[in-house]
Structure 1
Amino acid sequence: MPLAPSQSLLEDFIFHWKAITHYFINNKDEKCPVQESNISSHLDNMLVILEQEEYQTERNQTGPCMEHLLQHKILETLQTLGKADCPPGMKQLVLGFFTNLLGKIQQPLLPHVNVYKPVHRLIKCCGDVKAGPTEKEEIQFLCLVCAKLKETPYLINFFLEDPKTSSSSGRGSRGGLKKKVSIDPSKMEFSLMNSLLSLVQSPDTRIAVKACEGMLLCASLPEKSSADCIVGNTHLADFLAERLCLLYNALPLSMDPVDVDSVEAKWGLDVSSDADDTNAFHGKRQLISLVSWFDYCDQVIKVAYSSIGDAVASALLDRFLLPILEPLLLQTSEVGILTSTSHLCKFVKMCESRQLLAVLVSFILGNDASEEQQHDLDQHKLRQRLIERCNHLSDEICIMSLKLFETLLLKSNEHVIKNLVLRNLETRAYYNRQPMTLVQAKGSENISSNSGNDRDNLSNGPENFEPELEFDDDFQTKRLLPTGEDSDFSSESGSPRKMTEEEEVQMGIHKLVNCFLILVPEEARSSLSGDVGYDMYLREAHRQFRDCTVNCLPYDWPNYVTPLEKCPPNPSFCEGAFLKVLFDKLLRMLDQPYEVNLQVTSVIAKIALFPHPHIQEYFLDPFLPAAPGCRTLFTVLSKVVSDLSTRASSISDFQKQVMLVRRQLMGLVEDQQK
């Protein structure tokens, strides 16, 4: 008996689709759940047939089953059934079918009018019910669409529509698209982003995290039309800012700065119980939520189209920084000051996006870049208050304020160093314009030119430079140079030879370093020559200078100081509020706690790293002929050392005590006792 011929894939496909349509024709019970029907298995079989057909068909060819699906608008029919959720549970099946179809079929489907139109309508159905039973399927579907748009960004134009004509849009695929593009994109509706904004508020953390990922993908699309639409006709920027405000207001009023600095952003589901946390503290969960959301906002700004990033950063300024954080920073309560400053420092430290960093810098320092004047009140109140707190009676507030400025200086933003330091050095008003010797002029015009002067040039330095400090190319200074570099400056035979220009530059640097090294007299030093640790210091200094130089590459700074003839004549020098408080703190080193001194010297060291010729001249040239009344780093340190020598003479066994304290700070005392 002959076997009946097997059905073709197309016949099987039509059979399963007709089985679904017959169910709706014959079934009159609208309340019967879809699980009691065979609709799910028929949809699964249709998908398997489409996959099998694609596997058997040549690449870039459409098989008869796929053509049948497109020509008979099967997806539009399914979308209508899913939207009505009839029978109950149908929406879940339709979402799963759309997700699997777009995800498993390799050929591009979204450009087809009979695909993107039902997909767009189904997108609008997502997120309409909070905590709905289909949230999982909705977010999977939306994230898949986002991924497809990320692969082919121009397709986003199919999903932007005029809200006034959304009900009748799309009559004709290509013509409809042209009509949409002619409309102002900022007034068009972006249903995909709106649905994601609804789902990100889901109580299910997994759904919310996936929605955040989808929003990030949409914001990063390199299409101006979608960016204009997101900025002009969605609530993305406002939502991100409002959520940040909500999370910040949930924090305790008092928090330890150490705890604030210790937490890290945790995206996703990396959540541990308080019982498992060995470093738990009050408000930790709320703080983690805050920094995680801030990090998300920062990442959105970083990867988003530039106009979206600007809009989000502006919203954070207008809705969070100015109305919420600024009043807390300006309050008088010491506990509140300490807590809010530590939060701000954490935000600056975490920030990676250029636009948000610019907003934070402007919020903290203002936008003024003109030279400061003596006795002028700072026009930016927050900047003035934060600088004043670097000299606060509370050591904790002082340290926290200094840490904030140090964190700012580590960021790649030219306005930070210009606003705090450089704007007061640009005219070289710190330089004494009075007539001087030729040697002085040559030695001060450029740090590297000091290499040609002999040791008598030390007498041409500032008045505070102690005459009894003799210049000595000792072991300590040689250790500051890379191995082998000091060997070329003298020959073993003792006969002098003419140095090259590069060697002269090295010798000049050698002398400058020695000037700072020999400031501290032998009897006040805390270590012997074999225990100085210069190798470690030098490696760290090289690393920090390299990082700072990389950050400053976009600034287009000059390589040489501005010639005096091009500077304004007879200027009055103002070191500025920031340098004034730093030098004042440096002068009081002997009367301040160790922790404060560490922070002060750390900030000054960060400033001295900047590769601007005026900063290097003002901070690092001990031969600088300073203008009358002008303090430099070298003159301030000279006064500190002079005071140290006076006090040390009245303390018995001073050097022994200092050496012991140094070893205690380095954790070496216990090893020595053993």
Structure 2
Amino acid sequence: MEVLGKLTALLQQALETREPEINLLDSFVDHWKGITNYYIETTDEYRPVKDTDIPWRLKQMLDILVYEEQQQQLQQEDTGPCMEYLLQHKVMETLCTLGKAEYPPGMIQQVLVFFTKVLSQVQKPLLHIINVYRPVQKLIALCGLPSSQTEKEEAHFMFVVCSRVKKDPNILSFILEKEPRAATPGPNCEGERGFIQTLTKLTQSTKSRVVQHAMESLVLLVSGAPEDTGRLLLETSPLCQLLSQRLCDLYKLIPCTLDPSDLQMQQAVQWRDLFNHQRTEESPSSPDSGHVTRFFCWLDFCDHLITHAPIVLSAQMARSLHNQWLTGVVQPQLLQMSEAGVLVHTTLLSCIARHTHSSALLGELILFLLGDDTEPEQRSDNHTHTLRYSLIQNCDHISDEISIATLRLFEELLQKPDKRILSNLALRNLERRCYATPMSSGVSMEERQGGAAESDVPEESEELEEDPFFSDALFSESEFGGVEPLSSRPCPPVNMPQAESVNSFLCLVPQEAKTSQHVPGTGYDTYVHDAYKMFKETSALCIDWGWPENILHSDMQPSAEFYEGHFLHVLFNRLGRILEQPYELNLQVTSVLSRISLFPHPHLHEYLLDPFLSLSPGGRSLFSALVRVIGELMQRIEHIPNISNKLVHIRKQLMGQEDETLVDHVTLLRGVIVLEEFCKELAAIAFIKLPTEAQ
């Protein structure tokens, strides 16, 4: 029994004795020597790396490094012996050399995986250490090469590097140290490919996962970075040029054979939509539509980077897109002789304006399209900015399709939150109020309408009051029936002076040419609701533009002849031909004029919505242009029998309530309908913009 007791005690002691700790450094060195010995002992140069023990040994080395770091953290110690060995013996440098040699075959893939996992799983910062960032730089130069079989691993490796930079922007200088500084973007020698060039090259892969990783890497690199990082990227890398060149290349792939109507319906896309499999499956399979989608996704990507980049980098990105893409590629297409080409590229530009959101890129787009002139225009100013003048002239092009597309472009611009657009197109010729005669320069709109001093009423308004179309024109209950629920205010009494301006627009079209009363749902009250909504949206755009609330009276004498500026000049000319133009063109002309009228600038309101304005010599306003059209309308409808019934029939056709049938004077009749609707729309805008107490 005593012997048995002693044996039991010995066994118990053996079980309680701790197993000697494995020497991590010896194990790490053994695995590394096992890899290097392979190159000494092997005789089969064509044996794939996956058939050797190299992948297993690399994984063991990685596991040791991760475990060692965990133990060091628990003991609150510095770098462990295995990591020291990795750094001092230039293990990563040697692996990079082996990967470049692709010996054994497939070695570059194993090296990429090892580097990626070391940088992602080891928590200690490493990229500031020369024996890490030097091989990382060399490995980056091996990525993004033509016909690469390891794009997936390359993209993941680059993403991890960018993730490290995101955590510590200071290490970017180590990664970019050997970045080539080419004067112009383009392919460099195989050993000189830099960090940014590799990323942009990977964005052109045919594999969506690779593209996604590369684009997300650029977002990590740029978004929210400090100004120093932005300046470093700007000064030591071709980031701006490469992003712009990619956009140029994608734009050039869009064919001129595309249907402009399909382009106009182009839905808003985000760059991440490229990786949305459901959207990809639902999208058309046409190669042409694919080119369009890829272009707009890259445009959105650039717009996203510009929005979130440091200011100094954001400005240069937008400027580079202006110079390389807009001026270098888009402008020649807009100024070409082919009408088909001009139509497609104008429509594309309209979509581009709609999809541009960053303030820096929008500013460059405005500068490209409109220039930076701020002085009032003269009639002879047709060469100060070639593209601007050409686009405005295209609003009055011999091709109705080009006119419509260009008007849509300007309408898109007018919906952008930048005061330079409206100032450039209209306000700079209205700021000094040279459109008004000196007799009205010190009289407000309300005073001239109030009847307090009849001698101050302009001659033109007196003529209008004597006109039978204006004499008994007062608001009816049906016309204001929908206002109260909208604004919670009582309808204006018919004797209120401010109502005369609204009433003047409502009564421009003669009674026999009106059709609203014969078709339900087309009354004036619906326009008030729509005008109220659009006015709120427009006012939100310009809330911080610093516009005056009241008319600014100038001491300057008006020039011999007032000129409204090229843009309004063309719009008024088009409006004057409303009875002879296609229906779609008329809708677009009146839509642009309505949108301008919505802006809450006092001079715009006076010039466009005051029927009683006394114009300076040679001047014309929106109301006076409409009066001339009405005069022409009266002459024409005298020769059309049963005009009211024909107008009602055409209106119902346009609303889809009756089948299409041949009708004489169809263009004229459609023009009359657009004219009636436009006058109601202007009346609604004038009403909405009245002071609260007037409503």
- Aligned mates of 1:455, 1:654 — CA distance in 2: 41
- Tell me the equivalent position of 1:146: 162
Aligned to 1:261: 264
Question: 1:345: Cα distance to partner?
Answer: 2.0
Which of 420, 424, 427 in structure 2 is aligned with 1:419? 424
Asked if the contact 2:433/2:553 (under 8 Å) is kept, the reply is no
1:623/1:314 CA distance change after superposition, 3 Å? same
Residues 211-255 of structure 1: CA deviation (Å, up to 9, x unaligned):
233223323352334333333332222223333333333333333
Q: How many residues align?
A: 619
Q: Does 1:84 align with 2:98?
A: yes
User: Matched residue of 2:357: which SS?
Assistant: coil
In structure 1, distance between residues paired with 2:630 and 2:597: 20
Deviation at 1:540, TM superposition (A): 3.0
Residue 546 of structure 2 is matched in structure 1 by 556
Question: Aligned partners of 2:522, 2:390: CA distance in 1, in Å?
Answer: 39
Identity %: 32
In 2 relative to 1, CA 513–635 (structure 1 residues): closer, same or farther, beyond 3 Å?
same
- Residue 527 (str. 1) matches residue 527 (str. 2): no
Which range is displaced more, 408-417 or 298-307? 298-307
1:475 counterpart residue number = 477
Deviations 1:552-578 (A, max 9, x none): 23422222221233x455564111111
Distance 1:633 1:546, change over 3 A: same
1:545 equivalent in alignment to 2:551: no
Could you tell me which residue of structure 1 aligns to residue 80 of structure 2?
67
Report the Cα distance in structure 2 between the residues aligned to 1:239 and 1:122, rounded to whole angstroms. 21
Contact 1:477 1:510 survives alignment (8 Å): no
1:334 counterpart letter in structure 2: E
**1:637-648 to 2 correspondences below 5 Å:** 637-648=626-637
* Letter of the structure 1 residue corresponding to residue 336 of structure 2: Q
Matched with 1:214 is 217
| Contact 1:526 1:655 (C-alpha < 8 Å) held by counterparts | yes
Moved more, 196-205 or 409-418: 196-205
Question: Are 1:316 and 2:325 counterparts?
Answer: no
Q: Report the CA distance between 1:627 and its aligned residue.
A: 1.4
Contact conserved, 2:513 with 2:644, CA < 8 A, in 1?
Answer: yes
Question: Per the alignment, do residues 479 and 28 of structure 1 end up closer, same or farther by CA in structure 2, a change over 3 Å counting?
Answer: farther
Does 1:365 pair with 2:380?
no
Cα pair distance change 1:517/1:52, threshold 3 Å: farther
210 and 540 in structure 1: CA distance in 2 versus 1, 3 angstrom threshold:
farther
Q: Which of 38, 53, 56 in structure 2 is aligned with 1:41?
A: 56
Distance 1:236 1:549 in 2: 38
Question: Deviation at 1:104?
Answer: 4.2
Q: In 2, are the aligned partners of 1:429 and 1:571 still within 8 Å (CA)?
A: no
More divergent stretch after superposition (583-592 vs 377-386)? 377-386
Equivalent in the alignment of 1:294: 299
- Structure 1 residues 335 and 647 mapped into 2: Cα distance closer, same or farther (>3 Å)? same
Counterpart amino acid of residue 217 in structure 1: L
Counterpart of 1:616 in structure 2 is 605
Q: Deviations over 1:476-506 (max 9, x none)?
A: 552463437453867xxxxx9xxxxxxx9xx
Identify the residue that residue 177 of structure 1 maps to in structure 2.
none
Q: Sort the Cα spacing of 1:151 and 1:667 in 2 relative to 1 into closer, same or farther, 3 A.
A: farther
Deviations along 1:410-462, whole A, 9 cap, x unmatched? 2222222122111110110001113x6xxx95443xx5x67855898988653
Could you tell me which of 426, 431, 435 is aligned with 1:430? 435
TM-score, normalised with respect to structure 1:
0.81
**Would the alpha carbon gap of residues 197 and 487 (structure 1) be closer, same or farther in structure 2, given more than 3 Å must change?**
closer
Are 1:237 and 2:254 an aligned pair?
Answer: no
Q: Distance in 1 between matches of 2:141 and 2:20?
A: 37
> 1:577-596 maps to which residues of 2 (within 5 A)?
577-596=566-585
CA distance in 1, matches of 2:131, 2:197: 20
Q: 1:289 to 1:198 in 2, by over 3 A?
A: closer
Q: What's the CA shift for 1:550?
A: 2.3
| 1:33/1:17 CA distance change after superposition, 3 Å | farther
Q: Say which of 105, 120, 123 aligns to 1:103.
A: 120
Is residue 2:251 matched to residue 1:248? Answer: yes
| Matches of 2:219 and 2:617, distance apart in 1 | 57
Shift, 1:589, TM fit: 0.8
Q: Quick one: distance in 2 between partners of 1:331 and 1:571?
A: 37
Does structure 1 conserve the Cα–Cα contact (< 8 Å) formed by 2:96 and 2:135?
Answer: no
What do the CA deviations read for 1:507-553 (whole angstroms, capped 9, x no partner)? 66544322212222332211118633445433432332222222223
Describe how 1:308-347 pairs up with structure 2 within 5 A. 308-347=313-352
Deviation string for 1:268-303 (max 9, x for gaps)? 3457999x8786667323233333333333333332
Report the Cα distance in structure 1 between the residues aligned to 2:76 and 2:104, rounded to whole angstroms. Answer: 32
Checking the alignment, whether the CA contact within 8 Å between 2:560 and 2:617 is kept in structure 1 is: no
Query: Which structure 2 residues correspond to residues 620-659 of structure 1 after superposition, within 5 A?
Result: 620-659=609-648
Distance 1:665 1:573 in 2: 39
| Contact 1:478/1:486 (<8 A) preserved | no
CA gap of 1:385–1:371, structure 2 versus 1, over 3 A, is: same
CA distance in 1, matches of 2:139, 2:547: 51
Q: Distance in 2 between matches of 1:598 and 1:278?
A: 30
1:190 shift after superposition: 10
Secondary structure, counterpart of 1:81 in structure 2:
helix
Preserved contact between residue 432 and residue 627 of structure 1 (Cα < 8 Å): yes
Letter of the structure 2 residue corresponding to residue 95 of structure 1: L
Contact 1:227/1:308, CA 8 A, preserved across alignment: yes
1:512 to 501, 514, 528: 501
**Cα contact 1:16–1:43 (8 A) shared by 2:** no
User: 1:349 offset after TM fit, Å?
Assistant: 2.1
**How many angstroms apart in 2 are the aligned matches of 1:42 and 1:621?**
85
Can you give the 5+ residue segments of structure 1 that lack an aligned partner in the other structure? Answer: 165-188, 491-495, 497-503
Task: Tell me if structure 1 keeps the 8 A contact 2:571–2:593.
Answer: yes
How much has 1:645 moved relative to structure 2?
3.2
Quote the RMSD (CA, aligned, Å): 3.7
Q: Distance in 2 between matches of 1:486 and 1:642?
A: 36
1:193, 1:218 within 8 Å by CA — same for their partners in 2?
A: no
Which residue matches 1:168?
Answer: none
TM-score in terms of structure 2 length? 0.79
Separation (CA, whole Å) in 2 of partners of 1:480 and 1:13: 85
Is the 1:190–1:234 contact (alpha carbons within 8 Å) kept by the matching residues of 2?
A: no
Deviation at 1:5, TM superposition (A): 3.2
Aligned letter for 2:407? L
Query: What CA deviation, in whole Å up to 9, does each residue of 1:287-343 have, x standing for no partner?
Result: 333333333333333322233333333333333333433222222222222122222
- Per the alignment, residue 145 of structure 2 pairs with 129
Contact 1:160/1:190, CA 8 A, preserved across alignment:
no
User: What is the DSSP-based 3-state SS (H/G/I as helix, E as strand, rest coil) of the residue aligned with 2:542?
Assistant: helix
Q: 2:98 is matched by which residue type in structure 1?
A: A
C-alpha separation between the residues in 2 aligned to 1:620 and 1:561?
14
2:203 equivalent among 175, 180, 200: 200
